[in-house]
Structure 1
């Protein structure tokens, strides 16, 4: 049997008593992926991106391992919830306009000590100040550096559109505003290089594209290493007690960790290893999070229909955002129908061996978004379900 066929047999045995749809996390693969992230980080701590996990039990599991420290959250409401659940080092990676949340943060010493908020504009500081409603707790602040690569005098821009702060001088200017403003403390600097950490460099059948992406990423890494170091120096000149400089992502862990200016790495998707990471040559992981849909129809030779399955990932719409039929090997979508809201036809020779009620296993294109479709994850150890844990959704929390 191939490794994938062996995994299918394990998952089918483990969940034989359970009806699909269902979602699982293979703990052996999850832990192996965690070990690989730590190895690639080369001794620098990894801050876990909660949006890529969206399950408190699994956040606790990975943070109990050596090499991991702290959470990178995605909304203020989530940050407050996690702080009240006992997590004590939470970096909110995106600016917020949640006035009620800021009032709660400023009025409670527990969350205020645990949560750091993201700022890249004076208007965000002013919003927080107006939202305090008399709260006197000091707000911990992190600034974000724009990491995009700009070529041809700025006419070509490669990278996510995030922070407006690009030059060290502008970061230092905002840093001075934070330091001078009562009720705030500047504690961190973050720079997420999405065009390196989140873009694969191996495209089957397209060697020219693959080579072009690798060249772009080499140039981008060199440019960002210099600019990030200069930005850190500029901010530390204003705030010498800066606690952390966060960078990276699953796809660039080893490269970012090599930068002296960076003190910690962000990663999360590498724990589940969704299908978008199949195009990365710099590392390989084991798919750990999967979902199963039941076969409900056999329309003809070489075709089965499963219930639901239309769970596209966020980002620019395209086939790479669809879940991947993974087990049994050899199934694919009908091009005219794709992944359906209520039913999904799958074609390929393995269809003829599937019976009504059998499970087809899929991988989501992205990591944590899978958890918005299921209220529980079945944890698989070997060929047994060894536990069931709620997702954020299962705990009644849908933050975005």
Structure 2
């Protein structure tokens, strides 16, 4: 029996009493992936990205492991909720215009000491000040540096369009702006290299494209080592007691951790290991999060239809954003229908061995977005479900 066939057998056995559709997390795989992130971080703490987990119980599980420290959140409302639930050291990694949230933050010493907000424009400071509503607590601030690879004198740009601040000089000026402004304290710097951390360099069936990606990423890493070090020196000249410098992501943990200027690594997707993280040459993980859909029709030879399935991931529209029919191996989408709103036909010889009521197991293309579809994650150990925990959605928290 192959490894994947064995996994299918034990997942089916563990969940025999559950009615599909449902989602599971394999705890052995989750913990192994967590250990691998810590190993690759080389002694630097890993801040877990909550958007890639979206389940309080699993955030608590990973933060209880040695090597993990702090949360990287995605909205201010989520940050406040997590602190109210007992989490500490929450870095909001995206700018916010949540005026009510800022008023709450500025009025509560516990929140203000536990949450750090991201700023990359003086206008964001203006908005926070206007939203204080009399609250006098000092707001902890992190600046973000644009990490895009720039070639040919800046005429070619590769990287996510995030912060408008792309040079150490501009970052230092923004740091001075924060330092001069009463009610704010600059504590951190973030520089996320999405074009390295979030782009696989070993795309199956595309060797030329994969080689091009590897060449781009090597150039990006060389440029980023210098840029990040210069940026940290420039900001420390303004604020010597900077608490942290955050960088990285699941795909670049070991490279980012090797930079002296970086004090902590961000990662989250590597815990669940969704399908987009199959295409990296530097590491391998174990699929930990899956969902099961029931077979409801057998339209013909080599075809079954499952209930639901239209759960595309964010990003540029394409086949790689669809969930992967994972177990049994060998199933594929009908190109004319793909993953449907309420039903999904699947083609391939394994379909002939599936009966009405059997499960097909899928992997989502991205990590935490799976939890926007399911209210509960069933936790599997071996061939047993050992617990069931709510996702953010299951707790009535759909932040985005």
Partner of 1:344: 344
Structure 2 residue 273 is matched with structure 1 residue 273? yes
Query: After the TM superposition, which residues 1-400 of structure 1 pair with which residues of structure 2 at under 5 Å, given as runs?
Result: 1-400=1-400
| Root mean square deviation, CA, Å | 0.5
Counterpart Cα distance in 2 of 1:3 and 1:11: 12
* Offset at residue 58 of structure 1 (A): 0.0
**Which structure 1 residue ranges, 5 or more long, are not aligned?**
none
TM-score by length of 1: 1.00
Counterpart Cα distance in 2 of 1:45 and 1:10: 34
* Offset at residue 204 of structure 1 (A): 2.0
DSSP-derived class of the 2:237 partner? helix
* Offset at residue 205 of structure 1 (A): 2.2
Aligned residues: 400
* Offset at residue 206 of structure 1 (A): 1.8
* Offset at residue 180 of structure 1 (A): 1.1
* Offset at residue 153 of structure 1 (A): 1.6
Question: C-alpha deviations, 1:309-350, integer Å up to 9, x for none?
Answer: 000000000000000000001000011100000000001011
DSSP-derived class of the 1:239 partner? coil
Which range moves more in the overlay, 201-210 or 238-247?
201-210
Counterpart Cα distance in 1 of 2:54 and 2:211: 34
Counterpart Cα distance in 2 of 1:60 and 1:346: 37
Counterpart Cα distance in 2 of 1:287 and 1:164: 35
Counterpart Cα distance in 2 of 1:22 and 1:63: 25
Hey, which bits of structure 1, 4+ residues long, moved more than 3 A? none
Question: C-alpha deviations, 1:172-197, integer Å up to 9, x for none?
Answer: 10101111110000000000000000
* Offset at residue 203 of structure 1 (A): 1.9
Counterpart Cα distance in 2 of 1:354 and 1:57: 34
Counterpart Cα distance in 2 of 1:373 and 1:285: 23
